[in-house]
Amino acid sequence: MKKLVSAALVGLLLGTSSLAHANLSINVGAINVNPDNSTSKINEAPSLGLNAEDDTQLGLTFDYALNDNWVIELVAATPFSHDVSGQAGLAGASIGKIKHLPPTLLGQYHFGQAGDKFRPFIGAGVNYTIFFEEEASQDLKTTLGTQNVELELDDSFGLAAQAGFNYAFDKHWGLHAMVSYIDIDSDATVYADGVKALTVDVKVDPVVAMVGVRYSF
């Protein structure tokens, strides 16, 4: 009896594993985060501001098909790094460097039918961005008159929208391309000698684009 139950459990596990693999696809490629060009305002000096440059990293996304049309996608990547520069009255000044990870979970609707080579899709979901290793620049330290300057950004939670397509070369291999807009807003605080010196409402709000190779199990 125990052997029969064990065999049944093994069969169930193998069947579940096969089903999961049949519904899973992995996309690997280049992913670019291009922050909004509008200037983030310094609260203590609204006439001044700053913005962040774009960055490209290795993108890795996981697709799990619920059925022929609905898919859940998790977007991940290696950490993004942005040089932050001054704008308006701070034009030409380096402010610092920030790093972040913006994992995003989306629900997608794929047009067409299973087996079609070309499958466009749209999606919407949520994003949680983690900021870390913030570094104040020497320009900022000189402006504040001390080398003891710290830059801190709060983590961000926001919505995301997406559009893209998959193109199948064969049963397993294909092409994946997508463009997303993500709502990433953070509060940045600058400390000089342990005392709060500046606060900034940082609006990253990037357009995220990815092109990569797709493998379906």
pLDDT digits 0-9 by tens, 61-117: 999 999 999 999 999 999 999 888 776 656 667 888 999 999 999 999 999 998 899
At residue 83, the pLDDT reads 87
- Number of independent structural domains in the chain: 1
d(C-alpha 103, C-alpha 74), whole Å: 7
Average pLDDT over residues 191-213: 90
Domain limits for position 197: 24-216
What is the Cα–Cα distance from 153 to 167, expressed in whole angstroms?
Answer: 39
What backbone torsions phi and psi does residue 61 show, to the nearest 5 degrees?
Answer: -125, 145
> Which pLDDT score is estimated for 8?
41
In a domain, 5, yes or no: no
The residue among 133, 185, 181, 126 whose CA lies nearest residue 154 is 185
What's the mean pLDDT when you consider all of the chain? 85
The enclosing domain of 93 has a CATH number of 2.40.160.20
Mean pLDDT of 173-200: 91
User: Are the C-beta atoms of residues 78 and 39 closer than 8 Å to each other?
Assistant: no
Q: Please state, in angstroms and rounded to a whole number, the distance separating the CA atoms of residues 18 and 26.
A: 16
The pLDDT value recorded for residue 49 is 56
Cα–Cα distance, 189 to 202 (Å, whole number): 10
In a domain, 16, yes or no: no
Q: Looking at residues 121-149, what average pLDDT do you find? A: 92
The reply to whether 4 falls in a domain is: no
User: Residue 140 pLDDT more than 80?
Assistant: yes
Residue 17 lies in a domain: no
Q: What is the reported pTM?
A: 0.82
Question: At 155, which helix (H) or strand (E)?
Answer: none
Whether 120 is covered by a domain: the verdict is yes
**Residue pLDDT, tens place only, 145-178:** 899 999 899 999 999 999 999 999 999 999 999 9
Bridging pattern class, strands 149-153 and 40-42: unpaired
7 lies in a domain?
A: no
Tell me if 191 is assigned to some domain: yes
How far is residue 124 from each of residues 137, 179, 185, measured CA to CA in Å?
36, 12, 18
13 pLDDT tier (thresholds 50, 70, 90): very low
Q: Which stretch of 13-17, 47-51, 147-151 has the lowest confidence by average pLDDT?
A: 13-17
Query: 32 to each of 88, 95, 135, how far by Cα in Å?
Result: 26, 22, 21
Segment 29-35 shows an average pLDDT of 95
Give a yes or no: residue 125 inside a domain: yes
